[in-house]
Structure 1
Amino acid sequence: MIDTHAHIYADQFKEDIDHIIERSKEVGLERIYMPNIDHTSIDDMLELELKHPDFCIATMGLHPCSVKSDFEKELYIVEEWLSKREFVAIGEMGTDLYWDKTFVDQQVEAFKIQVAWAKEYQKPIIIHCRESLDMTIDLVEQLKDDDLTGVFHCFNGSVEQAERIAALGFYIGLGGVSTFKNGGMDQVIPELDMSNVVLETDSPYLAPVPHRGKRNEPAYVQLVAQKVADYRETSLEEISSITTANANKLFQFDA
């Protein structure tokens, strides 16, 4: 299995990160992809990647919740890093209308700038779109060309929205929300085209049942995979195999 989205460089893991990595490997994780947040997260993220090369893999971008009036300064730092070394993806980027709608115009501008970099470097984008899924699909539809792909992380939308995403050649990331009784995903997951589904945890957030409300960790991706398998009436092994192949394709990883 692969956790395509985990912030394990976060302060919540400072005390026991070695155990977190160990548990991840024990349940069969092959890699953990770590999306960046903003300038404050880069050093810790890259340090973890250095300690665990080929297992903890960094991406580079600006999270929409860090897009404020000075977002150009943040984007300059992202751009500088993209020119300095290779990253497997641009992100975490996107839109967020849940916490604050003050800077939505700036979020859209930052989104377009990062999409342009993704096309330039031919890297996938990792999209955050909380309370803004339709708006973000619309944006990608406007900006889409043959050089653009990526993943809508933390997907909790409808079958119709999933089909729009698939039509764009994008992937959807299924995480802890898929296990919530009130999440509605029990009706959606059986209808999905599994050829564009990947697994994630979004650690330390959104822990799956039975750990809901506690700190999430990459090892719990197995719980997400099992729930997806249950909904689709298939095996954990099949879901693991399909989603791992999809993640390798998304991040252009040659196994």
Structure 2
Amino acid sequence: MNLIDTHAHIYSTKFDSDRDEVIDEIRAAGIERIYMPNVDVETIDRMLDCESRYGDLCIPMMGLHPCDVKEDFEQQLYVMEAWLNKRSFAAVGEIGTDLYWDKSGFERQKEALNIQVNWAKERKLPIVLHCRDSIDQTIEIIEKAQDGSLSGIFHCFTGNLEQAKKIIKLGFLLGIGGVATYKNGGLDQVIPFIGLDHLVLETDAPYLAPVPFRGRRNTPAYLPAIAQRVGDLLQLSSSDVASLTKSNAMNLFKEITP
């Protein structure tokens, strides 16, 4: 299989002790691209170092994660906008909203999200959206911002069929990860009713490892397990899932399919 992981933090410190070995395993698993979402100013150098070392595999994005939208978010955005003006990135991400840990900063999150959405519009880049415990709120924000020029991924989609249909109507893709393999993940009630045209695959490594690796550090090398689960739900081969989701990803990121 030739797979695309549209969301993995391969630059995470959790890979510092064995990153080269992990990269070898990823290549052996048939992973052709890893799109790396940025988190904050502190992760930029680490992410770009991975690009410099594994540039045929690891592709960077630029954005401020909603959990890192603190009181200094404007200064962080200033640094990130300077990077976007300096060189190319695959997307503006990982951006969005998060009401899981703390609801008090939601207005700041919305402000940061709208600023970064405008960056994407100006540069004709896709956006990669985080929406933990805030999917309806994020859909509403994107509905208001969508003028026909926005595209992207609702990363780590764990919503219901109605929410999936709203996202698809907005012209966005659903990022399907390890949760699809979980017994009570709920995606068995969504994926069979929307098909592959609107899906991309991701691991969110080092988080959310799929079954049968749940509880371990996640890695893009586990992406075939997610492809297999999606194939089972759609009664398709995992190679068909790999081919079609790869095409979706490459079309979104405007790259020539390798």
- Which interval holds the TM-score relative to the shorter structure? over 0.9
Three-state SS of the structure 2 residue aligned to 1:41 is helix
Match 1:134 to one of 121, 136, 145: 136
Query: Residue type of the partner of 2:46?
Result: D
Q: Distance in 2 between matches of 1:38 and 1:161?
A: 28
Aligned-partner SS, 2:175: strand
Matched residues, number: 255
Do structure 1's residue 160 and structure 2's residue 162 form an aligned pair? Answer: yes
Residue 228 of structure 2 is aligned to residue 226 of structure 1: yes
* Runs of 5+ consecutive residues of structure 1 not aligned to the other structure: none
SS of the residue aligned with 1:33? Answer: strand
SS at 2:174 equivalent: strand
Q: Which amino acid aligns with 2:99?
A: L
Matched, 1:39 2:2: no
TM-fit CA distance, 1:212: 1.1
Q: Is the 8 A contact 2:195 2:234 kept in 1?
A: no
Spell out, residue by residue over 1:212-242, the C-alpha distance to the aligned partner (whole angstroms, 9 max, x if none): 1210000111100000001111101110011
The residue type equivalent to 2:190 in the other structure is V
Shift of 1:128: 0.2
Match of 2:81, SS? helix
Distance 1:123 1:152 in 2: 15
Counterpart pick for 2:73 among 50, 71, 74? 71
Equivalent residues in 2 for 1:56-205 (5 A)? 56-205=58-207
- When normalised by structure 1's length, the TM-score is 0.98
What is the CA–CA distance in structure 2 between the aligned matches of 1:169 and 1:67, rounded to whole Å?
26
Counterpart Cα distance in 2 of 1:146 and 1:189:
25
Q: Specify the SS of the correspondent of 1:21.
A: helix
Given residue 174 of structure 2, which amino acid in structure 1 is its aligned partner?
I
Name the structure 1 match of 2:21.
Answer: 19
Could you give the per-residue CA deviations for residues 103-124 of structure 1, whole angstroms, max 9, x where no partner exists?
A: 1000000000000000000000
SS in 1 for 2:190: helix
CA RMSD of aligned residues (A): 0.7
| TM-fit CA distance, 1:196 | 1.5
Calculate the TM-score normalised by the size of structure 2.
0.97
Displaced runs of 4 or more, over 2 A? none
CA distance in 2, matches of 1:102, 1:46: 32
Q: Which amino acid aligns with 2:143?
A: E
